[in-house]
C-alpha cells in the first residue's frame, strides 16, 4: 500500500510550533558573550536545524551592568548562579564561568533539578567528570561538552559518532592554542620564551597567569577527555604525564629547524600492549608533516582507527565565537533529544557505562620514545 513519504515524515518530525528550548547561562565572559551573539545573529537558521527555537531566559554574571549591555532587554539577570542552576522553568543550563569548585556545585545542582547541561569547562570534566556523568545518568539528563576539548573542532562528535565503527589505536594533537602561538613566534620571529609569552598575553591569547597553558595542564585536561572517548576508559587526569614548554629556549627551536623538525606541544593517547600511554610534552615533528604546519593559535587532532586509518581535524584553538560555535552545536543536540529515552542517547563518553574499560595507564618509565638532547660545550684549546 502506498504511503505519502512527506505525510509519513510529518508524524515524526517536530512541529514548528514546538516551544523553544529554555536556556539559563552561568557566565557571560568571552565564551558566554560569544554564545549570546551567535544565537542572536543566526537564530532562525539554528532553529531550523534544531527543530525549535533556542531562547536564553536568564543569565548569571558577576558584573550585572556589563551583562545588561550584552544581553539587552528581555533576559533576566542575576548575580546568584545557583538561582540559574535550580530555575524551575529551564530545560538547559550552560556553564561557561570556568573553575572547578563552584562550577561543580552548579552543574550537580542543575542535574539534580532535571536540567541538561552544556559546558566548555575542560578542567571541571577532567577532574570531576566521573561524578558529573554518573549523576546525569541517574537523573536521565545529558551533559554536552564539545567546546571543552578543541574549541571549534568537533572532535568529540567525531570520536563518539563518526568513528564509532573503529577500534581507535591512538589520538594525538595540538590542543592548546596559547602554547602553539608561543612556539610559532619563537620559530618565526626568533623570540625567546618570555618575549613570545608577553606577546601572547598582549593579544589576549594567554591569561595574566598562564600556568595552566604553559605547563601543559590545559592540554592534559583535554587529553583526558579525548582518551576516554577514544578508548572507553574512565577519566584519568591524575595519570597524565604533563610537561609544558617553560624549559624551552629559542636555541632549542632553532636547532630543531636545522635538524628538519618543528617543536610542538603534543597531547598523545596511544594503546600499548600493556596499557595506555597518556602524555603531554614538547615534541619534534618532522617539518614535512601536516602537524608541523599548524601555526599560531590553531589546533589540530589526528586519530588512527583500525578501519578508517588516520583522519585529521583542524580549526581555531581559541576565540569567543569559535567556542560559541561548539556550545551552540551542543544546545542543538540537546534540543533534538525531545522524546528520546536516555538509554538510546549517545553516551557521554562514547561507551555505555557497562562497557567502560579500566585500562592501565603506563608510567613514564614504561614508555619508550626518541629524545632530543642539546649539550652546551665549552670550547677548550689544549
Q: Are 272 and 266 in contact (CB under 8 A)?
A: no
222 is catalytic: yes
Looking only at the bridges linking them, the beta strands covering 298-305 and 261-272 are unpaired
- Per-residue pLDDT band for 14 (boundaries 50, 70, 90) equals very low
Phi, psi torsion values for 257, nearest 5 degrees? -60, -45
Which has more pLDDT, 112 or 380? 112
- Per-residue pLDDT band for 255 (boundaries 50, 70, 90) equals very high
Looking only at the bridges linking them, the beta strands covering 92-95 and 116-119 are parallel
Range in 39-48, 60-69, 357-366 the model is least confident about: 357-366
Cell of residue 69, nine digits: 549591555
- Per-residue pLDDT band for 381 (boundaries 50, 70, 90) equals low
Which has more pLDDT, 1 or 65? 65
Closest CA to 306 of 167, 178, 200, 201: 167
Phi, psi torsion values for 127, nearest 5 degrees? -95, -30
Range in 3-17, 174-188, 310-324 the model is least confident about: 3-17
Range in 143-147, 226-230, 351-355, 378-382 the model is least confident about: 378-382
Q: Are 114 and 139 in contact (CB under 8 A)?
A: yes
- Per-residue pLDDT band for 376 (boundaries 50, 70, 90) equals confident
Cell of residue 36, nine digits: 549570546
Cell 581555531, residue located:
316
Taking only the tens place, the pLDDT of each residue in 263-288 is: 999 999 999 988 999 999 999 999 99
Q: Choose, from 115, 157, 185, 222, the residue flagged as catalytic.
A: 222
Helix (H) or strand (E) holding 182: helix 177-189
Q: What is the mean pLDDT of residues 39-64?
A: 96
For residue 17, what pLDDT is reported? 58
How far apart CA 254 and CA 84 sit, in angstroms, is 51
Tell me how many degrees the CA angle 99-97-38 measures, rounded to the nearest 5: 145
How far apart CA 171 and CA 232 sit, in angstroms, is 13
Cell 610534552, residue located:
281
Phi, psi torsion values for 242, nearest 5 degrees? -110, 130
- CATH numbers and ranges of domains, the chain: 18-151+322-355 (3.40.50.720), 155-318 (3.30.360.10)
For residue 85, what pLDDT is reported? 98
The predicted model scores a pTM of 0.91
How far apart CA 111 and CA 65 sit, in angstroms, is 29
Cell of residue 242, nine digits: 604533563
Other CB atoms within 10 Å distance of the CB of residue 138: 11
How far apart CA 66 and CA 59 sit, in angstroms, is 12
Cell of residue 57, nine digits: 531566559
Closest CA to 279 of 221, 240, 244: 240
Amino acid at each position: 500500500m502506498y504511503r505519502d513519504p512527506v505525510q509519513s515524515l510529518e508524524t515524526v518530525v517536530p512541529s514548528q510550533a514546538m516551544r523553544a528550548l529554555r536556556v539559563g547561562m552561568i557566565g557571560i565572559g568571552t565564551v558566554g558573550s560569544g554564545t549570546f551573539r551567535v544565537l542572536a545573529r543566526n537564530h532562525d537558521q539554528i532553529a531550523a536545524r534544531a527543530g525549535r527555537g533556542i531562547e536564553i531566559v536568564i543569565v548569571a554574571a558577576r558584573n550585572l551592568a556589563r551583562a545588561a549591555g550584552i544581553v539587552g532587554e528581555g533576559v533576566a539577570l542575576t548575580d546568584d548562579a545557583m538561582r540559574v542552576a535550580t530555575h524551575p522553568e529551564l530545560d538547559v543550563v550552560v556553564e561557561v564561568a570556568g573553575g572547578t569548585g563552584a562550577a561543580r556545585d552548579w552543574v550537580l545542582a542543575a542535574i539534580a533539578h532535571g536540567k541538561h547541561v552544556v559546558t566548555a569547562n575542560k578542567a571541571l570534566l577532567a577532574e570531576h567528570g566521573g561524578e558529573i556523568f554518573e549523576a546525569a545518568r541517574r537523573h536521565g539528563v545529558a551533559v554536552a561538552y564539545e567546546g571543552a576539548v578543541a574549541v571549534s573542532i568537533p572532535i568529540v562528535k567525531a570520536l563518539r559518532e563518526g568513528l564509532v565503527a573503529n577500534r581507535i589505536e591512538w589520538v594525538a594533537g595540538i590542543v592548546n592554542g596559547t602554547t602553539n602561538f608561543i612556539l610559532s613566534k619563537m620559530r618565526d620571529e626568533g623570540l625567546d620564551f618570555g618575549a613570545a609569552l608577553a606577546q601572547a598575553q598582549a593579544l589576549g591569547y594567554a591569561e595574566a597567569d598562564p600556568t595552566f597553558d604553559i605547563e601543559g595542564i590545559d592540554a592534559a585536561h583535554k587529553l583526558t577527555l579525548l582518551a576516554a572517548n577514544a578508548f572507553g576508559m574512565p577519566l584519568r587526569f591524575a595519570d597524565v604525564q604533563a610537561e609544558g614548554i617553560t624549559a624551552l629556549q629559542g636555541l632549542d627551536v632553532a636547532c630543531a629547524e636545522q635538524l628538519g623538525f618543528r617543536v610542538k606541544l603534543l597531547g598523545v593517547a596511544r594503546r600499548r600492549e600493556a596499557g595506555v600511554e597518556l602524555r603531554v610534552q614538547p615534541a619534534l615533528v618532522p617539518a614535512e608533516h601536516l602537524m608541523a604546519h599548524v601555526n599560531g593559535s590553531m589546533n589540530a587532532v589526528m586519530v588512527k582507527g583500525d578501519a578508517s586509518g588516520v583522519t585529521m581535524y583542524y580549526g581555531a584553538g581559541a576565540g569567543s565565537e569559535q567556542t560559541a560555535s561548539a556550545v551552540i552545536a551542543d544546545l542543538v543536540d540537546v534540543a533534538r533529544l525531545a522524546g528520546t529515552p536516555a538509554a538510546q542517547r549517545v553516551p557521554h563518553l562514547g561507551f555505555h557505562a557497562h562497557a567502560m574499560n579500566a585500562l592501565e595507564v603506563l608510567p613514564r618509565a614504561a614508555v619508550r620514545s626518541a629524545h632530543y638532547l642539546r649539550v652546551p660545550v665549552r670550547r677548550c684549546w689544549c
